[in-house]
Chain A
Amino acid sequence: MSKIVGAMLLIGTSTFIGFTMAERLNERCRLLRLLIRLLNIIKTEIGFHSGLLAEVFQRAAQVIHDPKMAVSLERIARNIGFGSDFDIGQLWEDFVNNPELGSLSKEDSAVLKELGVYFGSTERKDQIERIEAARYRLEINLEAADVDKMKQVRLYRYLGFAAGAAMVCLLL
């Protein structure tokens, strides 16, 4: 009886790990789409509405339609203000390092962090160009992530189950 329970636990755990890894691939694609959307919103706000940076992030929080990301964006907006000691590069880096964006790859995070250093501090044309460049790089990453997802989601799920089953066989 205990062997059956142990075997089921082992298979269950390895299957769960497989599903988690597959989900991570799904989540990365979802986040990349969301961040591309966010960069589009920021680009539009900076390019056409010309609000101050705090207003840009406040507006982005309102229209992003992702409650968790909205909270993070509102946090950035709250920290920016006249006489504030904020460093937009640091605020943005904290946003990127947030565990909620933990499914992003190192390359994805690097693209975003690089952009954060320049947020607000250059002329409008340059801001738009930099956001465009970051968005383009994220789109390339998204294409690759989508291909990865197609290939590997099922693989991870089966592999999780199969690895568990194989270990059970070996142990028995």
Chain B
Amino acid sequence: MNNGKQEPWLINDKSNSPKLNGALHFFPSELRQVLLKIPQDLQLKLIEIRLRTNQPLELNFGSTDSFITIKGDLTGKTEEALVINADTFRKTFNAFTTGSFYALEEELTQGYLALPGGHRIGITGQVFYNGASIRLISNISSINFRIARSIRGIARPLLPYLWKEGRFLKTLIIGPPATGKTTLLREIIREISSGVPLLGISGIHVGLVDERSEIAGSYQGIPQLDVGLRTDVLDGCSKRDGVYLLLRAMNPQLIATDEIGREDDFRVIEDIINAGVSFLATAHARNLTEAILRPGLKKVLQDGAVERLVLVSNRLGIGTVESIKSGVSGPELLSNGFTGVKGCPK
């Protein structure tokens, strides 16, 4: 289970503990009792809890995953693992949704559901169409419970590279899935929005387009995770609509969004730049070469729109910053890789 890899962002941030207990509060008592038996240090590393009907309960710790026995011991053996039967699955889904499927059906057609505290569940099941669009996802068979965590301070060492002459530089964070891009993005937003006097950063107005409620973890429109004092959140809104709404109504100095890469995302970035506003976004790609090969990113990267490229991985743990580049063809400002929290000020 433990691969010996040090994950200092978790060890440093003891405030994660109550957050996890908050997450387990959503589970029905029979599962909660089992999950609470996981040792405290491993509880802190828990990222996802996956349930599938008639399959073992799976725990994801970022770089590793495991099953769990009824006694709360972690195991890799399926025959020892706690299996989620149909009744337990139904009770769990009931506990996550307060038995109110009818009230959440529209949200569930997106494939996920935001919960109080910023946690969220992803679902799969039987999909029903109405014309070309999904009308309903019913008969849910899999749930992925994602635990929301703010890892405060993870972005602090990056900030001097992203802030220049009183403004935030247009920044793109690139990394493979599950490397902490969104966590890093959230922390940059929080710091820039609230201001860091120590680094000469005054707080600026940030407009956040949170298409999948992942960054601010909004529940009923209210951010559950700290995204700073001057951040206005458009929750569940598409990037295209969100950017126009923010530009028209909120006069932001920085617009942030998650996971760009579709063909038309280039136009969205172009509109932000044309409005004289800076941007901060993330994109899925293992490295810069792979990013440039993606049509949606190629235009953004080759247009010279990006002033800072931050490449992340989980080499030294989630949120490892591998390098910071000054644009695509510019010099590498930092290249030896570090985990953001290590030694950073709180």
Binding site for B on A (CB under 8 A): 46, 50-54, 80-88, 119-124, 126-127
Q: Given A83-B32, A123-B105, A124-B105, verify A88-B99 contact (CB < 8 Å).
A: yes
Docked-complex contact B102 and A127, CB < 8 angstroms: yes
How far apart sit A83 and B115, CA to CA, in the bound complex (Å)? 11
Docked-complex contact A53 and B98, CB < 8 angstroms: yes
Q: Given A120-B100, A120-B101, A123-B138, verify A85-B28 contact (CB < 8 Å).
A: yes
Docked-complex contact A120 and B95, CB < 8 angstroms: no
Q: In this assembly, does B27 line the interface, its C-beta being within 8 Å of a C-beta of chain A?
A: yes
Docked-complex contact A81 and B102, CB < 8 angstroms: no
Expressed in whole angstroms, the minimum distance between the Cβ of B297 and any Cβ of chain A is 38
Expressed in whole angstroms, the minimum distance between the Cβ of B29 and any Cβ of chain A is 5
Chain B residues contacting A124 (CB-CB under 8 Å) are 102-103, 105
Expressed in whole angstroms, the minimum distance between the Cβ of A109 and any Cβ of chain B is 21
Docked-complex contact A80 and B136, CB < 8 angstroms: no
Chain B residues contacting A127 (CB-CB under 8 Å) are 102
Q: Given A85-B91, A123-B136, verify A50-B98 contact (CB < 8 Å).
A: no
Docked-complex contact A53 and B25, CB < 8 angstroms: no
Expressed in whole angstroms, the minimum distance between the Cβ of B134 and any Cβ of chain A is 13
How far apart sit A54 and B98, CA to CA, in the bound complex (Å)? 8
Docked-complex contact A82 and B99, CB < 8 angstroms: no
How many residues on the B side are at the interface (Cβ–Cβ under 8 A)?
A: 22
Q: In this assembly, does B96 line the interface, its C-beta being within 8 Å of a C-beta of chain A?
A: yes
Chain A residues contacting B99 (CB-CB under 8 Å) are 53, 80, 86, 88, 119-121
In B94-117, the 8 Å CB interface with A consists of 94-96, 98-103, 105, 115-116
How far apart sit A126 and B128, CA to CA, in the bound complex (Å)? 14
Q: Given A53-B99, A53-B100, A88-B99, verify A83-B26 contact (CB < 8 Å).
A: yes
Binding site for A on B (CB under 8 A): 25-30, 32, 91, 94-96, 98-103, 105, 115-116, 136, 138
Chain B residues contacting A52 (CB-CB under 8 Å) are 98, 100, 103
Expressed in whole angstroms, the minimum distance between the Cβ of B77 and any Cβ of chain A is 29
How far apart sit A80 and B102, CA to CA, in the bound complex (Å)? 15
How far apart sit A85 and B26, CA to CA, in the bound complex (Å)? 10
Docked-complex contact B98 and A122, CB < 8 angstroms: no
9 pairs of residues in contact across A and B, judged by CB atoms under 8 Å: A52-B100, A53-B99, A82-B96, A82-B115, A83-B26, A85-B28, A120-B99, A120-B103, A123-B102
Chain B residues contacting A54 (CB-CB under 8 Å) are 98, 100
Expressed in whole angstroms, the minimum distance between the Cβ of B152 and any Cβ of chain A is 25
Chain A residues contacting B102 (CB-CB under 8 Å) are 46, 50, 120, 122-124, 126-127
Complex: chain A residue closest to B96, CB-CB: A82
Q: Which 3 A-B pairs have the closest CB atoms?
A: A120-B99, A124-B102, A52-B100
How far apart sit A84 and B32, CA to CA, in the bound complex (Å)? 11
Docked-complex contact B101 and A123, CB < 8 angstroms: yes
How far apart sit A53 and B29, CA to CA, in the bound complex (Å)? 20
Docked-complex contact B28 and A81, CB < 8 angstroms: no
How far apart sit A53 and B94, CA to CA, in the bound complex (Å)? 11
Chain B residues contacting A53 (CB-CB under 8 Å) are 98-100, 103
Expressed in whole angstroms, the minimum distance between the Cβ of B32 and any Cβ of chain A is 7
How far apart sit A82 and B99, CA to CA, in the bound complex (Å)? 9
Chain B residues contacting A123 (CB-CB under 8 Å) are 101-102, 105, 136, 138
